[in-house]
C-alpha cells in the first residue's frame, strides 16, 4: 500500500475547525472498518462541505428532529452513510457512539444506507442513486406550497431550505435529469445541492463514462451554478452565501479528493472497501488526528459540534414565538397548519363520499375516481398532485383547482411532465416533508418507470398515493398493455394496492388509502366503461377495507356454495354476469370481489375462511393480468382466467373477448374444473398410485398464452 497525501488539511481552516472536520473522517473510517463493509472514500472527501453546511447554515434542532420549519438535509450519495451518522452523533441527535460502532449490523440504528423513519435526523431513504436528488425537489416543492398557503404579511412561518450532497452517480442516473429539469422550471430557489466532484467511480476515473459539462447542463436547466474547491472553507462558505441570494435552485460543484488523507486518496480503491487497519492508521496520521484509538472523539471537538444543540433550541424557540404571534392573528390558519403537519385528518372528511348505483349508468374507473378526487380535494386541502402529462387520461386533473407553478405555488394541480421516475421521487419527498398528501398518476404500464420510489416509500413507512389507469388491453397494443405489473405491485412489502370493481369500490379504495399513515396506497383503474353494481351499494366501504368480501351468493347456498368466483376490477362485473348462467346448470355460486390482496391477507383467518370456505375447493379467479400468485387463493383444485402473454393492438372489447374474458369461457372453465374434480375424486377412491408412490392433483390452468 502506498502512503501519499496531497495535503493534510483544508484551506482556511483553523485548528478547531480542522479537528472537527477530521473527527467526521475518523469516525467514518472507523465505522466502515469495524463493519468491514462500507464506503470510506466519500465521507473523507465530503467532510469539509458537511462541516460548513451543518455548522453555519443548517437550521435544525437535534433535540426535536421533527421541528416543522427545520431545513432538510439529504445525503443523496447514501453509500457514504457514515458521514451522516457521524454528523448526527456529533451534533447531539439520538444516536450514540455505540450506534456508530454497530454500523451495518442487525437492527442497528446505523444501517448500510440511511433510512427514513428508522434513524432520527435522516430525512429520506437514500442509496439507490438519484432518488435523494429527486426527493429533495419534492421537499422544496412542499415547502414552496406551504409557504404560499400559510405565510402572511409580517408572518413568515414557513421558510426553510433543502440541502443535499450528491455524487457523480446521482447525476448520471436518469431520475436526476428529470428532477433537475422540473426544479429549474419551477424556480425552486430554496434548493441547494453540492455535487461532490471527486472524479472517481467504482470502475476508475469518471472520464471513462462521464464527460458531460455538468455546470452548463444545469445552467440550461435554469439552475444557478458555482465551481469551488471542496476543501477550502472560505469558498464553501461564500458559495452558500451566493446560493442564498439567488432565486434559482443552486448547484455547487465542489472539486474534492475521494479518500482524502488516506493512502488510496484519488483512487477507485477508496470508494467501496474498508481501508484496512494499516490504512486507517496511516490516514489518521496523515490528518494529524490526536489518537489512533478507534472511535476516539476529542472533548474539544465534541464540544464544538454540540453547540448545535443550543443553537437548535434557540432557532426553534424563535420560530415558536413567531408562530405564537401568527396564531394570535390567524387562529384558523395556525390550527390548520398544525393539523396538516401532524398528519391528522379533519373531522367528517369521509362523511359524504360519492356513491354510485346502477342508475348512475356505466362509468370508467378513472372517471369515477375523478369524481371522488374532486370531493376529496374539497375536504382535504393538503391533497396535492398530478400526472405525468396524462391528467385527463388518468382522471387526476381537478377542475376546481388551478395549476401549481413558479408563480402559483399555492395551487394543487401539479404538472410533472413526462417524467414518471421523477414524479415518484418527488411524491416521496413531499410525503417525507409533511404538511401535504401528495399523489402521482400515469398509465399502469409505466409503473415500471416508478418501481424504485414506490419501493422506497414502502420501506420508509410513508403514505404517498399512486394512481395507475389503463389497466387492461386496448388499441395502443402490447407496449401499453400491462400483464405483470399488478402482480409485481402486490409483491412489494408494506404497500396497499386496490383494483376496484365500480364507483363504490373506487370511493372505498380512496378512503382506505387516505386513512393509511405508514404505507403507500396504490389504486389501479380502467379506461373502459363499467356498470355500477347494485351489489356494492352499502357493502363496499366495509368490504374493501377487508380486502375481499362476498358480493353475491346463490339462494339456498347457505354459506356453502358449489363454486366461488373471485375477481378484481373490471372482471367483477363479468363474474356477476356469469353467476346466473352457472346457476342454470344447477350450481350454487358465490361471487367474491377481492380489490386488495394485501388487506385480505391481514384479516383474521376466521374472516378469510368465511369469505373463501376451506370446504369449497372449486374456485375460479378472474383477472386481466398474470395468473402468477393466484394459486394462493384458488388452491390446487382451482383455476385462473388470466393472461400469460403480451397484448395486441385492438379495442378493449375485442381484446378481452379474444383473451377469454366472457361469460361463455367462465362457464366452460367451471364446467371443465367440475369434471376434473369429479374424475380426481374417483381416482382417489381407487387409490391409484404412481410408480414412485406419490400422487398429485393439478388445478385447471386456463390462462391465455396464445
Q: Are 290 and 25 in contact (CB under 8 A)?
A: no
pLDDT category of residue 7 using cuts at 50, 70 and 90: very low
Q: Compute CA 179 distance to the chain's CA centroid, rounded to the nearest angstrom.
A: 15
**CB contact set of 17 (below 8 Å; sequence gap of 6+):** 10, 51, 233
Q: Are 138 and 438 in contact (CB under 8 A)?
A: yes
What is the rounded distance in angstroms from the CA atom of residue 436 to the CA atom of residue 430? 7
CA dihedral 136, 142, 143, 147 (to 10 degrees): 170
Q: Which of 420, 505, 553, 623 is catalytic?
A: 420
Q: Are 493 and 631 in contact (CB under 8 A)?
A: no
Task: Give the pLDDT confidence of 638-653 residue by residue, as tens digits.
Answer: 999 999 999 889 988 8
What is the H or E stretch that residue 374 is in?
helix 365-379
430 vs 6, higher pLDDT: 430
Pick from 138-147, 527-536, 613-622, 649-658: least confident:
649-658
Cα–Cα distance list, 123 to 4, 26, 152, 250, 343 (Å): 36, 24, 27, 20, 16
pTM: 0.95
- DSSP code at position 643: B
pLDDT of residue 702: 54
Transcribe 89-106 into DSSP letters.
HHHT-S--HHHHHTTTST
Going by their DSSP bridges, the two strands 413-415 and 383-387 should be labelled as parallel
pLDDT of residue 696: 25
pLDDT of residue 475: 86
What is the rounded distance in angstroms from the CA atom of residue 236 to the CA atom of residue 658? 65
What is the rounded distance in angstroms from the CA atom of residue 588 to the CA atom of residue 562? 5
**CB contact set of 400 (below 8 Å; sequence gap of 6+):** 374, 377, 378
Give which of 542, 444, 446, 544 is closest to 502, Cα–Cα: 544
Give which of 154, 111, 163, 153 is closest to 133, Cα–Cα: 163
* Mean pLDDT value across residues 588-604: 97
Residue-level length of the chain: 706
pLDDT of residue 472: 87
pLDDT at 4 over 70: no
What is the rounded distance in angstroms from the CA atom of residue 285 to the CA atom of residue 377? 60
**CB contact set of 593 (below 8 Å; sequence gap of 6+):** 501, 505, 536, 543, 548, 549, 551, 567, 568, 572
Cell numbers at 134, concatenated: 429527486
What is the rounded distance in angstroms from the CA atom of residue 610 to the CA atom of residue 317? 56
Neighbouring C-alpha atoms within 13 Å toward the C-beta of 671 = 13
Q: What b/e readout covers 508-522, taking b as 16+ CB neighbours within 10 angstroms?
A: bbbbbbbeeeebbbb
Cell numbers at 595, concatenated: 380489490
SS in 3 state form for 649-703? CCCHHHHHHHCCCCHHHHHHHHHHHHHHHHHHHHHHHHCCCCCCCCCCCCCEECC
Task: Give the pLDDT confidence of 541-585 residue by residue, as tens digits.
Answer: 999 999 999 999 999 999 999 999 999 999 999 999 999 999 999
362 is catalytic: no
Give which of 54, 60, 193, 65 is closest to 117, Cα–Cα: 65
pLDDT at 692 over 50: no
What is the rounded distance in angstroms from the CA atom of residue 423 to the CA atom of residue 178? 9
CA dihedral 499, 500, 501, 503 (to 10 degrees): -150
* Mean pLDDT value across residues 242-270: 97
Domains of the chain, first to last = 15-313 (3.40.50.970), 358-536 (3.40.50.970), 547-701 (3.40.50.920)
pLDDT category of residue 473 using cuts at 50, 70 and 90: confident
Give which of 135, 167, 690 is closest to 422, Cα–Cα: 135
* Mean pLDDT value across residues 276-304: 98
pLDDT category of residue 474 using cuts at 50, 70 and 90: confident
pLDDT of residue 42: 98
Task: Give the pLDDT confidence of 187-205 residue by residue, as tens digits.
Answer: 999 999 999 999 999 999 9
What is the rounded distance in angstroms from the CA atom of residue 14 to the CA atom of residue 175? 39
Quote the crossing angle between the two packed helices 276-287 and 15-35, to the nearest 10°.
180
* Mean pLDDT value across residues 468-492: 92
Number of continuous H segments (helices) and E segments (strands) in the chain: 26, 21
DSSP percent split of the chain into helix, strand, coil, nearest 5: 45, 15, 40
pLDDT at 432 over 70: yes
What is the rounded distance in angstroms from the CA atom of residue 373 to the CA atom of residue 365? 12
pLDDT at 697 over 90: no
pLDDT of residue 681: 63
Spatial strand order of the sheet with 700-701 comes to 549-553, 589-593, 563-567, 619-622, 639-641, 700-701
What is the rounded distance in angstroms from the CA atom of residue 312 to the CA atom of residue 329? 26
Task: Give the pLDDT confidence of 44-81 residue by residue, as tens digits.
Answer: 999 999 999 999 999 999 999 999 999 999 999 999 99
pLDDT of residue 679: 74
pLDDT at 337 over 60: yes
pLDDT at 248 over 50: yes
Q: What is the mean pLDDT of the chain?
A: 94
pLDDT at 691 over 70: no
What is the rounded distance in angstroms from the CA atom of residue 476 to the CA atom of residue 648? 8
* Mean pLDDT value across residues 421-442: 98
Give which of 185, 301, 163, 320 is closest to 243, Cα–Cα: 163
pLDDT at 682 over 70: no
Amino acid at each position: 500500500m502506498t502512503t501519499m497525501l496531497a495535503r493534510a488539511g483544508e484551506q482556511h481552516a483553523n485548528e478547531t475547525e480542522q479537528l472537527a472536520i477530521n473527527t467526521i473522517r475518523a469516525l467514518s473510517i472507523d465505522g466502515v472498518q469495524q463493519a468491514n463493509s462500507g464506503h470510506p472514500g466519500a465521507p473523507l472527501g465530503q467532510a469539509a462541505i458537511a462541516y460548513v453546511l451543518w455548522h453555519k447554515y443548517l437550521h435544525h434542532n437535534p433535540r426535536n428532529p421533527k421541528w416543522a420549519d427545520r431545513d432538510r438535509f439529504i445525503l443523496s450519495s447514501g453509500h457514504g452513510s457514515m458521514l451522516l451518522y457521524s454528523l448526527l452523533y456529533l451534533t447531539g441527535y439520538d444516536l450514540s457512539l455505540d450506534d456508530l460502532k454497530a454500523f451495518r449490523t442487525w437492527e442497528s440504528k446505523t444501517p448500510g444506507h440511511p433510512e427514513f423513519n428508522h434513524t432520527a435526523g435522516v430525512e429520506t431513504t437514500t442509496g439507490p442513486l438519484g432518488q435523494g436528488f429527486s426527493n429533495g425537489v419534492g421537499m422544496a416543492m412542499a415547502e414552496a406550497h406551504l409557504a404560499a398557503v400559510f405565510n402572511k404579511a409580517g408572518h413568515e412561518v414557513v421558510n426553510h431550505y433543502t440541502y443535499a450532497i450528491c455524487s457523480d452517480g446521482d447525476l448520471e442516473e436518469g431520475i436526476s435529469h428529470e428532477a433537475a429539469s422540473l426544479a429549474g422550471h419551477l424556480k425552486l430557489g430554496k434548493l441547494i445541492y453540492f455535487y461532490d466532484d471527486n472524479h472517481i467511480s467504482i470502475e476508475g476515473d469518471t472520464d471513462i463514462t462521464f464527460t458531460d459539462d455538468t455546470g452548463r447542463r444545469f445552467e440550461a436547466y435554469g439552475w444557478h451554478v458555482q465551481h469551488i474547491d471542496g476543501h477550502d472553507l472560505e469558498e464553501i462558505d461564500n458559495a452558500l452565501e451566493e446560493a442564498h441570494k439567488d432565486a434559482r435552485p443552486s448547484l455547487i460543484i465542489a472539486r474534492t479528493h475521494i479518500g482524502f488523507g488516506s493512502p488510496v486518496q484519488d483512487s477507485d480503491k477508496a470508494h467501496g472497501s474498508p481501508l484496512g487497519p494499516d490504512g486507517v492508521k496511516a490516514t489518521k496520521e496523515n490528518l494529524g488526528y490526536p489518537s489512533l484509538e478507534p472511535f476516539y472523539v476529542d472533548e474539544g471537538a465534541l464540544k464544538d459540534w454540540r453547540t448545535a444543540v443550543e443553537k437548535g433550541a434557540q432557532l426553534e424557540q424563535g420560530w415558536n414565538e413567531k408562530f405564537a404571534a401568527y396564531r394570535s392573528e390567524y387562529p384558523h390558519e395556525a390550527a390548520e397548519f398544525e393539523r396538516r403537519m401532524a398528519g391528522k385528518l379533519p373531522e367528517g372528511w369521509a362523511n359524504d363520499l360519492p356513491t354510485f348505483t346502477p342508475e348512475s349508468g356505466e362509468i370508467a374507473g378513472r372517471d369515477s375516481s375523478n369524481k371522488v378526487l374532486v370531493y376529496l380535494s374539497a375536504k382535504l386541502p393538503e391533497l396535492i398532485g398530478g400526472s405525468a402529462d396524462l391528467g385527463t387520461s388518468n382522471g387526476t386533473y381537478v377542475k376546481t383547482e388551478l395549476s401549481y407553478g413558479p408563480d402559483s405555488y399555492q395551487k394543487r394541480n401539479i404538472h410533472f411532465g413526462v417524467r414518471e421516475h421523477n414524479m415518484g421521487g418527488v411524491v416521496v419527498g413531499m410525503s417525507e416533508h409533511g404538511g401535504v398528501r401528495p399523489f402521482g398518476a400515469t398509465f399502469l404500464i409505466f409503473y415500471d418507470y416508478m418501481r424504485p420510489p414506490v419501493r422506497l416509500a414502502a420501506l420508509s413507512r410513508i403514505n404517498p398515493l399512486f394512481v395507475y389507469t389503463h389497466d387492461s388491453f386496448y388499441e395502443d397494443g402490447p407496449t401499453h398493455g400491462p400483464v405483470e405489473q399488478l402482480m409485481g405491485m402486490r409483491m412489494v412489502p408494506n404497500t396497499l394496492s386496490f383494483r376496484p370493481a365500480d364507483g363504490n369500490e373506487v370511493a372505498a379504495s380512496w378512503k382506505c388509502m387516505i386513512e393509511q399513515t405508514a404505507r403507500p396506497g396504490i389504486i389501479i383503474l380502467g379506461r373502459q366503461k363499467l356498470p355500477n353494481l347494485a351489489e356494492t351499494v352499502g357493502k363496499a366501504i366495509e368490504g374493501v377495507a377487508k380486502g375481499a368480501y362476498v358480493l353475491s351468493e346463490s339462494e339456498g347456498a347457505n354459506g356453502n356454495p358449489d363454486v366461488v368466483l373471485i375477481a378484481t376490477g373490471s372482471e367483477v362485473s363479468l363474474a356477476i354476469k356469469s353467476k346466473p348462467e352457472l346457476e342454470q346448470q344447477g350450481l350454487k355460486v358465490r361471487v367474491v370481489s377481492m380489490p386488495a390482496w394485501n388487506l385480505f391477507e391481514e384479516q383474521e383467518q376466521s374472516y378469510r375462511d368465511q369469505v373463501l370456505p376451506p370446504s369449497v375447493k372449486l374456485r375460479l379467479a378472474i383477472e386481466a393480468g398474470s395468473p402468477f400468485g393466484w394459486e394462493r387463493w384458488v388452491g390446487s383444485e382451482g383455476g385462473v382466467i388470466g393472461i400469460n402473454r403480451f397484448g395486441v393492438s385492438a379495442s378493449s372489447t375485442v381484446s378481452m373477448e379474444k383473451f377469454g374474458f366472457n361469460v361463455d369461457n367462465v362457464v366452460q372453465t367451471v364446467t371443465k374444473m367440475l369434471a376434473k374434480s369429479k374424475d380426481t375424486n374417483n381416482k382417489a377412491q381407487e387409490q391409484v398410485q404412481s410408480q414412485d408412490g406419490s400422487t398429485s392433483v393439478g388445478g385447471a390452468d386456463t390462462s391465455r398464452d396464445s
